[in-house]
Amino acid sequence: GQNIDQPTEMTATEGAIVQINCTYQTSGFNGLFWYQQHAGEAPTFLSYNVLDGLEEKGRFSSFLSRSKGYSYLLLKELQMKDSASYLCAVRDNQGGKLIFGQGTELSVKP
Amino acid sequence: GAVVSQHPSWVICKSGTSVKIECRSLDFQATTMFWYRQFPKQSLMLMATSNEGSKATYEQGVEKDKFLINHASLTLSTLTVTSAHPEDSSFYICSAEPSRGYNEQFFGPGTRLTVL
């Protein structure tokens, strides 16, 4: 079956660093994506990992370990505008559809 | 970057009517588009994969006769919710995968459907 797990909620302080974990068990794998979604809006792309290791893009980094079925999104120098839902999604290798986790609601407090 | 639009952004309709939602890729061609539904405080649930020039592939549990999908061109897919009922009220989001040059899907802004 397909299963993607993320924490439901997290809270962090402005200026701090937060790590959002994602574990997955899927029948196929063709990349893992992280999206940010503000309430009432569409998801926006943050990162993509298909090989093991760390991908860094400004304040955001994403890590993947395929053997462990594990990824994390690291957000540095948190800002209030980073308060949003963060979605982990795995793309399968048949047709390219994305399977989403339930999302992690991040609250950044002053 | 690649832009996807949806129309309308919100719609309110009476129970029993049909509603059509359009998804367009504005500056790229997309042989594949995806339709998702999202209930409040929940994640995106894939409803169907729309392929240009062929029938859509529906996920398990999604009624294909109720949610009609047409992907008539490389830039347009439509979702028609037929005989809508209050339980169909949701946020419907489409995404498109460029035929070349990108790894990710690009999402439309979503359509808020409310059925009275």
- Taking only the tens place, the pLDDT of each residue in B55-107 is 899 999 999 999 999 988 889 999 999 999 999 999 999 999 887 777 788 99
Q: Which tokens go with A19?
A: 């790590």
Facing A102 at nearest CB: one of B43, B91, B95 = B43
What is the pLDDT, as a whole number, of residue A59? 96
Distance to chain B for A31, nearest Cα, Å: 9
Mapping DSSP to helix (H, G, I), strand (E, B) and coil, where does residue B103 land?
A: coil
Q: Which residues of chain A have pLDDT under 50?
A: none
What is the predicted pLDDT for the residue at B99?
A: 75
**A44, A97, A100 member nearest B43 (Cβ):** A100
CB atoms inside a 10 Å sphere around CB A46: 19
Instruction: For residue A100, give how far its alpha carbon lies from the nearest alpha carbon of chain B (Å).
Output: 6
Residue B1's pLDDT band, with cuts at 50, 70 and 90, is: low
Q: Provide the β-strand partners of residue A82.
A: none
Option in B32, B42, B103 nearest A48 (CB)? B103
Please report residues of B whose CB lies closer than 8 A to that of A102: 42-43
pLDDT of residue A95: 67
List, for residues B5-51, the tens digit of each pLDDT value: 999 999 999 999 999 999 999 988 888 899 999 998 888 999 999 88
* CA A104 to each of CA A29, A36, B3: distance values in angstroms, whole numbers, following the listed order: 21, 10, 25
How many Cβ pairs closer than 8 A exist between chain A and B? Answer: 48
Query: CB–CB of B91 and A44 under 8 A?
Result: no
